[in-house]
Amino acid sequence: MRRIKCNIHKKKVVMMTTIILTVLLILYIILVNFLISAALVPSFMQKLEAFERITDESYAAQVQTSDIKGNRQANLNETKEWLKTAEHQKISAKTDDGYTLIAEVFPFKQKELWNTEQTSHKWVLLLHGYTGWKEEMYPFAYWYHKEGYHVLVPDLRCQGESEGDYIGMGWTDHFDCMLWIEYILSQDAEAQIVLHGQSMGAAAALMMTGERLPENIQAVVSDCAYTDAYSMFGEKIKEWFQLPAFPLVDSACLILQLRGGYNLKEASAIEAVKRSKVPILFIHGDADAMISVQMTKDLYQAAGCQKELLIIEGAGHGQSQDKDPDAYYNSIRKFLDKSLA
């Protein structure tokens, strides 16, 4: 009888333990799914007011000096005036998984080439950052257009006007961007294409360099990129939610693979640049509180291609062009003069 009671007790303990572990596992899976949605699904982020919080935190982390503010406002004013008369066209592309992506094209007309009959074959693809949109890149579009480039500025998937379920952290974007390359080549088979991205857009551009690319892609300008999405996701989980990166990020990789079709560990710019044959100009501000300048230094060291490095003193995240516009744009101009065949 005692043995029977003991067996019954053991069974109850095992059952209760199983129930508790099952509940904890379910809660853990719910937590991981919540974190993925809170970081990578814009519609969910809006419900949580995460966009506003991220924007506020990002602004608070920026360098707020008078020169940066003044240069930025002057650039925005000039861009606004340019947009009043600039010819542009909205275009779309369909991804293999059925999403419609939207971009704006600013063609450079021959009549603007100042007494020359040459036709410009220079193109630039401008890629915005995390939770951004194409309009943020219009000041860069204005500069490139003045330099004689046709400009294509897309909304990356799941952001701006483009469809999608999950922000791609550069990985899905680097595949999507090939659609825009195809569009450019359909317009100009002799196109000389520059990829210029900021933050996540820069990481996407760098990831593209690890693939087999058309020879038309002749240069990359990487502004404040991160080394890999896995590391960034872990940092933001700790920063935004005060939760440990391990084991949450590894669990997120598994669930995101099931939900979103990609793995954060695959989204590695630093692995891509090791295989790159495309010249890359790496730019970063040394006061960047969002993505460490060390990440760009690591990318520069890892890159197996022709490369240059520009560190702007006193610039925060995505502020290099506003902190020192002369150094920023002159470095790009000289780099592209050398890189474009």
Question: 313-332: per-residue pLDDT in tens?
Answer: 999 999 999 999 999 999 99
pLDDT band at 117 (very low <50, low <70, confident <90, very high): very low
Query: From CA 134, how far away is CA 307, in angstroms rounded?
Result: 27
Question: What is the Cβ-side half-sphere exposure of residue 4, based on CA atoms within 13 angstroms?
Answer: 1
pLDDT band at 259 (very low <50, low <70, confident <90, very high): confident
**Helical (H) or strand (E) element with 151:** strand 150-154
For residue 56, the SS3 value is helix
Give the β-pairing of 192-198 and 150-154.
unpaired
How far, in Å, are 17, 66, 144 from residue 69 at the CA level? Answer: 59, 5, 22
Residue 148 pLDDT exceeds 50: yes
Question: What is the Cβ-side half-sphere exposure of residue 38, based on CA atoms within 13 angstroms?
Answer: 17
∠193-172-100 over CA atoms, to 5°? 85
Query: From CA 117, how far away is CA 100, in angstroms rounded?
Result: 37
Residue 87 pLDDT exceeds 80: yes
Query: From CA 312, how far away is CA 319, in angstroms rounded?
Result: 9
What is the per-residue pLDDT for 199? 97
pLDDT band at 38 (very low <50, low <70, confident <90, very high): confident
Mean pLDDT of 157-181: 96
What is the per-residue pLDDT for 6? 64
Query: From CA 111, how far away is CA 101, in angstroms rounded?
Result: 30
Residue 27 pLDDT exceeds 90: no
Cis peptide preceding 154, ω within 30 of 0: no
Mean pLDDT of 171-176: 96
Q: What pTM, to 2 d.p., does this model score?
A: 0.91
Mean pLDDT of 175-202: 97
pLDDT band at 246 (very low <50, low <70, confident <90, very high): confident
Instruction: Quote the mean pLDDT of the chain.
Output: 91
Residue with tokens 């990359």: 220
Query: From CA 275, how far away is CA 254, in angstroms rounded?
Result: 26
Residue 42 pLDDT exceeds 90: no
pLDDT band at 51 (very low <50, low <70, confident <90, very high): low
Among 151, 123, 118, smallest CA distance to 217 is for 123
CB atoms within 10 A of CB 259: 16
pLDDT band at 112 (very low <50, low <70, confident <90, very high): very low
Q: Are 149 and 105 in contact (CB under 8 A)?
A: no
Both tokens of 52, joined, read 């506003």
